[in-house]
Amino acid sequence: MDIALGLALGLGTGLVGGLMGLGGGTLLVPALVLLVGLDQHLAQGVSLAVVAITSLVGAITHHRQGTVRLQTVAWVAPGAVACGFLGASLATGLDGAVLSKIFGAMLLVMSGLLLAGKPAE
């Protein structure tokens, strides 16, 4: 892949990631599959490595500006990490097309949640 494209793709996903509180994988996985032509599994692996680094830098920035609730992190993270292992192990046994559909369906439900209710400040 072209270096300029890689940097631009990274900058774009990072910007949206920091703004939206995402690691950037939601953008990066489709971009790597559709733009770069990686296969779904490799795209997910590369994406997760980038997400780990991006989110670390992003979390530090957010913590400094006071927009991280450490107590919430403490209660949510352990279950997330444990089930993350489970999910990653399950993913290797699933077909790429099925993974894409799970991904799409889950995001559809989440967008409904956000578009329906009103935000708290």
Partner 1 sequence: MKGGSAGSEAPEGRRTDQGIGRPREIGCGVLVGALDGLFSGLTGVGGGAVLVPLLVTALKVPQHHAHGTSLAIIVLIAAAGVPVYATQGAVNWALAAQLAMGSMVGVVLGAKLMLRVPAVVLRRGFGVFLLLIAVKMLAG
Scanning residues 10 to 69, which ones bind partner 1 (CB under 8 A)? 10-30, 34, 38, 41-59, 61-63, 65, 67-69
Q: At 96, give phi and psi (nearest 5°).
A: -55, -40
Please, what is the minimum distance in Å from the beta carbon of residue 50 to partner 1?
5
Give yes or no for residue 96 binding partner 1 (CB under 8 A): no
Looking at 8, 35, 37, 95, which residue binds partner 1 (CB under 8 A)?
8
Instruction: State both tokens at 16.
Output: 């949206």
Give yes or no for residue 100 binding partner 1 (CB under 8 A): yes
Please, what is the minimum distance in Å from the beta carbon of residue 98 to partner 1?
10
| Separation of alpha carbons 118 and 1, rounded Å | 42
| 3-class DSSP state of 69 | coil
Give yes or no for residue 105 binding partner 1 (CB under 8 A): yes
Please, what is the minimum distance in Å from the beta carbon of residue 93 to partner 1?
11
Q: Measuring CA to CA, which residue among 41, 26, 53 is closest to residue 89?
A: 41
Contact criterion met (CB below 8 Å) for 53 and 59: no
Q: Measuring CA to CA, which residue among 51, 54, 39 is closest to residue 99?
A: 39
